[in-house]
Homo-oligomer: A and B are copies of this chain.
Amino acid sequence: MTEKPNIAILGASGYTGAELVRLIATHGGMHIAALSADRKAGQQMAEVFPHLRHLTLPTLQTIEEIDFSRIDLVFCALPHGLSQAIVKELPKNVKIVDLGADFRLRDPKAYEFWYNRPHDAPEIQPEAVYGLTEFYREDIRDARLVAGTGCNAATVQFALRPLISANVIDLDNIICDLKNGISGAGRSLKENMLFAERSEDVTGYSYGGKHRHLGEFDQEFSLLAGRKVEIVFTPNLVPVNRGIYATCHLKGDADAIHQALTKAYKDEPFIEVLPLGNLPAMSDIQGSNFCHLGVVAERTSGRAIVVSTLDNLCKGSSGQALQNANLMLDFPEEQGLMLAPIFP
């Protein structure tokens, strides 16, 4: 019997850290060897996340306390801006899946533009593979460093990449309106994330080209199209815990769009394309690694709508990360990820 690979999770006291533990617990093939949480170092995971108290897990430590020589793969679930400095100090034999934004943008100048700070590790940026599994699968398999996508970025790319590739939509008229669950804001303390502020509310944010995930959209869509593509992107907070629901208004033929999506995803285990005319629902994917896609023709000829929905903490973040880790560690890609959504 070969030994299970040793896994470390940095930033284990956040929501994506907890989600990684939840998924790895049913994966069966990985051993969680270290968990870090700087401010909560010394605590048990069961104190920080009582829903995980049935699991036997290492005590939370600081990153400095981790002996990385015995770690095979690290998940970095750290706040944006912290991974760059940490990743560049890790031993070269350690594989890394970063769940944050630190290595998503290929061009350090773009990073600086969108994140208002210089890149701390431009020398290792070229190593980073963009972690949208379904489109970078072979690169990820061989990568040492994988940069997880933004959760919004994943949701919208599943809707649009095959359409750009198949050349079935007008690239200058892409409008994506997103409805976003609250867990995407993480566990940090902000007045506008209090229950009494978010419950019974809907509010837009970062309208007008201000959202940082636009850096990813611009990079990926322009690369794919071979020309500059700038989408309109309006995210909105809605009072649900998990889930992103992206309504993409497009100019293009609904049939051609539906065919392009069906063809692109016909062998993908986690992407479900609904019959033409059907709309997905956010509650159909919560708690799972699935993404559901629906296509509807507009009444105005030449217009169509594509909806994409996934769980921001799972397929949009920790599930994607585990899917990539499976590839990097030679596990079957679906291992630990075929959990059905929870409804109701």
Contact = CB atoms under 8 A, between A and B. Distances in A.
A240 B202 contact: yes
Nearest to A238: B238
Contact of A234 (B232, B305, B343): B305
Classify chain A: how many residues form its interface, as a range. 35 or more
A136 interface: no
Nearest to A269: B54
Given A175-B175, A240-B202, A287 B284 contact: no
Contacts of A175: 175, 249
B283 A247 contact: no
Contact of A195 (B195, B285, B343): B195
Nearest to A52: B340
A152 to B, nearest CB: 14
B283 A197 contact: yes
Nearest to A180: B202
A187 B182 contact: no
A300 B343 CA distance: 39
B344 A197 contact: yes
Contact of A179 (B199, B207, B238, B342): B238
B201 A240 contact: yes
Interface in A106-123: none
A99 interface: no
A187 to B, nearest CB: 6
Interface stretch (A3-11, A75-83, A291-299): A291-299
B290 A54 contact: yes
- Give the most central of A26, A54, A242, A284: most B CB within 10 Å: A54
A194 B195 contact: yes
A236 to B, nearest CB: 6
B179 A189 contact: no
A194 B237 CA distance: 14
B283 A51 contact: yes
Contact of A15 (B196, B214, B241): B196
Contacts of A42: none
Interface in A240-299: 240-243, 245, 247, 249, 269, 272, 274, 277, 279-288, 290, 292, 296-299
Given A18-B343, A50-B292, A177-B247, 13 more contacts: A26-B339, A49-B343, A51-B340, A53-B274, A53-B284, A54-B272, A202-B245, A203-B245, A208-B305, A214-B299, A232-B249, A232-B300, A342-B342
